[in-house]
Chain A
Amino acid sequence: MVKAHKFKVTDHELVPKHEIVPVEEAIKILKELGVKPEQLPYLRASDPVAREIGAKPGDLVRIIRKSPTAGRVVVYRYVMAG
């Protein structure tokens, strides 16, 4: 039997790069932005990308994407349950 090819959303060119930020770095970033984690935009743990990169509630995810105004933009998402 042929094994069905598993589709990965992260392979799609329209899905920007997501990565989990290590805890020490995350603390530094939060301090720099001057926010509590809950004040960041959320990413659901059930989000297809979050599942693929294995992000768990409480993680900080860095997203690097293209922007029509700024070229390259780095943003952060706080992973929440759900």
Chain B
Amino acid sequence: MTDEKVIGGIKFGILSPEMIRSMSVTAIVTSEVYDENGLPVEGGVMDPRLGVIEPGQRCATCGNTLARCPGHFGHLELARPVVHIGFVKHIYDLLRATCRKCGRLKLPQEEIDRYLDLYKRLKDRWPQLAQSLSDYVKRKAIKATKCPHCGEPQYKIRLEKPTSFIEEGPLGRLWPNKIREWLERIPDDDLRLLGYDPEVARPEWMIITVLPIPPIAVRPSILLETGIRSEDDLTHKLVDIIRTNEKLRESINSGAPEVIVEDLWELLQYHVTTYIDNEVPGVPPAKRRSGMPLRTLAQRLKGKGGRFRGNLSGKRVDFSARTVISPDPNISINEVGVPRDIAMTLTVPVRVTPWNIDEVRKYILNGPGKYPGANYVIDPNGRRIDLRFIKDLKAIAEGLKPGYVVERHLIDGDIVLFNRQPSLHRMSIMAHVVKVLPGKTFRLHLAVCPPYNADFDGDEMNLHVPQNVEARAEAKTLLLVQEHILSPRYGGPIIGGIQDFISGAYLLSSKATLLTKDQVSDLLASISYEGEIPEPAILSPKRSWLGKQIFSLLLPENFNFMKEANISSGELKCSDEECFWDSYLVVKRGKLLLGVLDKAAIGAQKPESMLHYLIREYGNTFGKEFMDKAFKMFLRFIEMRGFTMSINDIVIPREAYEEIWQVYEKAKEEVRKLIEDYQNNRLEAMPGRTLEETLEIKILDVLSRARDEAGEIAVRYLNPFNNVFIMARTGARGSTLNITQMAAMLGQQSVRGQRISRGYRDRTLPHFKKGDIGPEARGFVASSFVKGLTPIEMFFHAAGGREGLVDTAVRTSQSGYMQRRLINSLLDLIVTYDGAVRSTYGELIQFRYGEDGVDPKNTSFGEAVKASRIVDKHVGWKK
């Protein structure tokens, strides 16, 4: 039994030369790495005492084999000390704050005593205040021009980036050995006041005299196929350092001129600096022969692929898969379609019991190559048997006893985690139920596209298989898709109808939709409906059912709901039950009596909708069932009817173009007059605006009215019940503005909210006269997409379009960084059992979560209880 130890804290310090020597197993004395036989040289950077590298070998230091040998440090005695690049800032501060002669902090003794007393009291309770006290003391000491202790006059010290210190006084260039002597003189108490702990961080240790040589395990050499050995970047750098060090020592010993020694010293400083950090500003990075900069110590830690972000906060994992996604409206929203190839690679460990032994045997008999099979068997001793290499699967199956673990293939009904990056909110990872399907893509129901923000233009997603019961239980109860239909972002369904679901719902529920018995049967069969077909709404001349009737079969019997539909606007506007246009939704006692289903009723990301209240009042399981069935029915109907969009839906006759042309001419004339007024000083400035701004605003106003008018003309000539209009009005896809731009006029193109004005001197393009500020010269596009754009219009459209692309690129990077920072600061906060928000240190962040303790997921628009809905719910049918 080994002793259990608890980590009380971690203290960081600087290695002293003595410490480096005492933890070293050998001094590195030569720059030779391998001898002529290809064996590592003793005293070189690959010295075998630094640790085992090949399996089967025993370590020359600790006697362990590869698996157990921790690796051992060596050390290199530098011929002359060098500055550690990571401590330059500290060295600079200490040199300026202390006396050049006696090394004391340049403050009177009584001040030091007073501050030190205050510092000691602050340190434990208010570490941040102690830090700012140290900073204050340091700044004050730097200002002193004469040492209060020995009276020595002080000189300004300059830091010549990156590592040279120069005293503007008798000492001149401060070489590292001089700096080290200076720092050695600073007494411990003065250092404490400056925030250093001299026990573990004496400042002279910031000057490197002995360099630790890391074990080979952290810089392994790679054996290429050609048999050539390729060394790690760190090893290369270490050889450079050792070689320079040898040369420096030789030239010192041979009494070479000081200039040569100094040159070599500087070179040694360069190599040690880039060994520690190869991205120091002002230092040319050390390169490999191929020109690639070396990845030295700091680069191993820093940045995205570094040790922290790449290996500690984030890791590569087993039991995961990634592939392209594609849509499948026939599976449940809770499901994910998994390609068979993936299902045969990912496994679930099953512990063998008397109750499942027969089932598990079948998997083993199928083996790794036949679905559904198994890839591994683990016996009670923990031995792992790879079924790929077993010829006699039968023997393994027969030898199976309770206590074995079988890693079987993924099968229908398994629970997995499904994820799409960027994982911006909690719905970016949800648990799905596996459905193994042919093909090579993951399939997901279209209604779960909004929470993942997924589409199918090549998006890929990741899948993870939980490996134990707790993880599966947690996934099932907390992460399952149906538990996330309602979003905490705005308290409404984030999973719901999109695009064709909405068009289909509208068409099915429209009062013009009459269904024959065959059609009704077809629709009900699509959702495997088992029950009575209701009485037809129309008995003669032919028994016909309303779409509303069929949809009502999916509603709970006591459900009441009323709301304006999305199509309720303009001429079709209705705000009560007296509605001719079918644009007011009325559900009484589970029967859809009036109104069409559109985005306002079943749409995703629409709070306060029928869907929202169905889920709130009948639960997530009902919500899932409802969506699975209703959406399938809507799609079946849209398939029966047929739904498309064609150029004919947006082409307008010649007369319409002439009308639009007149509108445009009129607008141009108005703009011309405005410009004339402006030039003749007749234009009156709007409050708070310059004359120029006023002119721009007025022009923009005239032109945007022209476009609206053009749109209205186009709409007048188009069939308001064509498929494009259906999509726009129901909220399925597109808007009236889109239709206007396709059929009538694109309108003003803008960059930064302004008409396009830059390009050449006083004009946007050389096609215009200088100083022309008319509509065409400033990016107004009078053509429609159907008619086609002129080359100049096309240019302006591209300029406006470019801005959108740049904006998204900039926004994603900025919001990504903000997200990282927010997550890092908030990730450990928890809501404790008293409803308060606390950090892991027990600090109170919020006295009550959100101040009201309400989960926004279970609210409607932030209100925990909505009285009017409670009334509607119970007596709504009476109204």
Beyond A69-B862, A80-B126, A81-B129, is A35–B852 a contact (Cβ under 8 Å)?
Answer: no
Rounded to whole angstroms, the CA-CA distance of A24 and B694 in the bound complex is 65
Beyond A33-B844, A39-B842, A82-B129, is A70–B834 a contact (Cβ under 8 Å)?
Answer: no
A40 interfacial by beta-carbon distance below 8 Å: yes
CB interface residues, B 125-182, toward A, < 8 Å: 125-126, 129
B843 interfacial by beta-carbon distance below 8 Å: yes
CB contact between B852 and one of A38, A70, A80, A81 (< 8 Å): that residue? A70
Beyond A39-B841, A80-B126, A82-B129, is A69–B852 a contact (Cβ under 8 Å)?
Answer: yes
Q: How large is the interface on A (under 10, 10 to 19, 20 to 34, 35 or more residues)?
A: 10 to 19
CB distance from A44 to the nearest CB of B (A): 11
Rounded to whole angstroms, the CA-CA distance of A69 and B862 in the bound complex is 8
CB contact between A69 and one of B126, B843, B845, B854 (< 8 Å): that residue? B854
Q: How large is the interface on B (under 10, 10 to 19, 20 to 34, 35 or more residues)?
A: 10 to 19
CB distance from A31 to the nearest CB of B (A): 12
Beyond A33-B836, A35-B842, A70-B852, is A76–B129 a contact (Cβ under 8 Å)?
Answer: no
Report B-chain residues with C-beta under 8 Å of the C-beta of A40.
843-844
Main secondary structure of the interface of B (DSSP, over half): loop
Report A-chain residues with C-beta under 8 Å of the C-beta of B844.
33, 35, 39-41
Report A-chain residues with C-beta under 8 Å of the C-beta of B836.
33
Rounded to whole angstroms, the CA-CA distance of A34 and B836 in the bound complex is 11
Rounded to whole angstroms, the CA-CA distance of A1 and B753 in the bound complex is 54
Rounded to whole angstroms, the CA-CA distance of A78 and B834 in the bound complex is 20
Beta-carbon contacts of A6-39 to B below 8 Å, as 1s and 0s? 0000000000000000000000000001111011
A67's closest neighbor in chain B, by CB? B851
Rounded to whole angstroms, the CA-CA distance of A82 and B845 in the bound complex is 21
Q: Are A67 and B852 in contact, with the CB atoms below 8 A?
A: yes
Report B-chain residues with C-beta under 8 Å of the C-beta of A39.
841-844
Report A-chain residues with C-beta under 8 Å of the C-beta of B845.
41
Report A-chain residues with C-beta under 8 Å of the C-beta of B834.
33-34
B854's closest neighbor in chain A, by CB? A69
CB distance from B574 to the nearest CB of A (A): 33
Rounded to whole angstroms, the CA-CA distance of A34 and B854 in the bound complex is 22
A75 interfacial by beta-carbon distance below 8 Å: yes
A73 interfacial by beta-carbon distance below 8 Å: yes
Q: Are B126 and A70 in contact, with the CB atoms below 8 A?
A: no
B845's closest neighbor in chain A, by CB? A41
A35's closest neighbor in chain B, by CB? B844
B87 interfacial by beta-carbon distance below 8 Å: no
Rounded to whole angstroms, the CA-CA distance of A11 and B836 in the bound complex is 30
Beta-carbon contacts of A59-74 to B below 8 Å, as 1s and 0s? 0000000010111011
CB distance from B769 to the nearest CB of A (A): 55
CB distance from B716 to the nearest CB of A (A): 45
B456 interfacial by beta-carbon distance below 8 Å: no
CB distance from B593 to the nearest CB of A (A): 37
B847 interfacial by beta-carbon distance below 8 Å: yes
Rounded to whole angstroms, the CA-CA distance of A69 and B851 in the bound complex is 7
Rounded to whole angstroms, the CA-CA distance of A3 and B171 in the bound complex is 60
Beta-carbon contacts of B228-239 to A below 8 Å, as 1s and 0s? 000000000000
CB distance from B711 to the nearest CB of A (A): 39
Rounded to whole angstroms, the CA-CA distance of A81 and B132 in the bound complex is 13
Report B-chain residues with C-beta under 8 Å of the C-beta of A67.
851-852
Report B-chain residues with C-beta under 8 Å of the C-beta of A73.
847-848, 851
CB distance from A17 to the nearest CB of B (A): 16
Q: Are A70 and B848 in contact, with the CB atoms below 8 A?
A: yes
B187 interfacial by beta-carbon distance below 8 Å: no
B402 interfacial by beta-carbon distance below 8 Å: no
Report B-chain residues with C-beta under 8 Å of the C-beta of A76.
847
Rounded to whole angstroms, the CA-CA distance of A82 and B125 in the bound complex is 13
Q: Are A70 and B129 in contact, with the CB atoms below 8 A?
A: no
Rounded to whole angstroms, the CA-CA distance of A43 and B173 in the bound complex is 48
Report A-chain residues with C-beta under 8 Å of the C-beta of B126.
80-81
Q: Are A75 and B852 in contact, with the CB atoms below 8 A?
A: no
Report B-chain residues with C-beta under 8 Å of the C-beta of A74.
847
Rounded to whole angstroms, the CA-CA distance of A45 and B125 in the bound complex is 16
B850 interfacial by beta-carbon distance below 8 Å: yes
Rounded to whole angstroms, the CA-CA distance of A56 and B104 in the bound complex is 36
Rounded to whole angstroms, the CA-CA distance of A36 and B842 in the bound complex is 9
B856's closest neighbor in chain A, by CB? A69
CB interface residues, B 528-557, toward A, < 8 Å: none
Rounded to whole angstroms, the CA-CA distance of A69 and B863 in the bound complex is 8
Report A-chain residues with C-beta under 8 Å of the C-beta of B843.
35, 39-40
CB interface residues, B 819-851, toward A, < 8 Å: 834, 836, 841-845, 847-848, 850-851
B850's closest neighbor in chain A, by CB? A69
Rounded to whole angstroms, the CA-CA distance of A40 and B839 in the bound complex is 11
CB distance from B246 to the nearest CB of A (A): 55
Rounded to whole angstroms, the CA-CA distance of A67 and B850 in the bound complex is 9
Report B-chain residues with C-beta under 8 Å of the C-beta of A38.
125
Report A-chain residues with C-beta under 8 Å of the C-beta of B129.
81-82
A32's closest neighbor in chain B, by CB? B834
Rounded to whole angstroms, the CA-CA distance of A39 and B844 in the bound complex is 6
Rounded to whole angstroms, the CA-CA distance of A82 and B842 in the bound complex is 23
Rounded to whole angstroms, the CA-CA distance of A76 and B847 in the bound complex is 8
A71's closest neighbor in chain B, by CB? B852
CB contact between A70 and one of B841, B842, B851 (< 8 Å): that residue? B851
Report A-chain residues with C-beta under 8 Å of the C-beta of B842.
35-36, 39
A65's closest neighbor in chain B, by CB? B851
Report B-chain residues with C-beta under 8 Å of the C-beta of A35.
842-844
**Known A36-B842, A73-B851; 8 more pairs at CB < 8 Å:** A33-B834, A33-B847, A69-B851, A69-B862, A70-B850, A70-B853, A71-B852, A76-B847
Query: Which A residues lie at the B interface, using CB under 8 A?
Result: 33-36, 38-41, 67, 69-71, 73-76, 80-82
Query: Which B residues lie at the A interface, using CB under 8 A?
Result: 125-126, 129, 834, 836, 841-845, 847-848, 850-854, 862
**Pairs across A and B, CB under 8 Å, 17 listed:** A33-B844, A35-B843, A35-B844, A36-B842, A38-B125, A39-B842, A39-B844, A40-B843, A41-B845, A69-B850, A69-B851, A69-B854, A70-B848, A70-B852, A73-B851, A81-B126, A82-B129
The 3 closest A-B pairs by CB, nearest first: A70-B852, A70-B851, A69-B852
